Structure 1
């Protein structure tokens, strides 16, 4: 059963980090998971500024999976500048963990996710 955080006003990285930290308090993956979840939220907010979001946190296939899902706008928003440094996803890329993204036109959502196997840093 996943732990879920609804964010009707957009992906707030600080709120997401606090949610993951509180949910995983005392767990070995807690600090790394909170840092990566905040990066996913920051990346989501960069692309879908203020769109309603949801964070799902659950254990799957011997790994912790964190997913940030945003409701797609009816009209595409302007592309964010590519030169932003550091980019929010740089945190995820530097950890060497499995990550990905998906878009569902049927559901009207865009999601980014990361999986941390047991024993992750």
Structure 2
């Protein structure tokens, strides 16, 4: 196998829970392959450098192996190698989040009133 779709590979490497989420991340320009924004159908090959943004953080990785099937987490970790700078930046971001503590939701936990709904609709372009 010389290459596989990037959305399949991201799903197989367990960066996203579903292939649809991986495809959507590509569409939203959260995935770059060799410093080029990647579309879901782009081929990924061994040796490619990927920059991935997902809810777990930002990853800079090098593709080591290809797979189009989702396996166990241990197998998924053998598909790529994360750079040391990426590991360090994710660790620092986790420490900063830990220091901030939980976010208190006070005013946003109530239901929107008529005025709030009108503002929401006008912002979204719904009329």
* Higher share of residues assigned strand: 1
Q: TM-score range by the shorter chain?
A: under 0.3
- Relative to the length of structure 1, the TM-score reads 0.24
Higher relative contact order (CA 8 A, sep 6+): 1
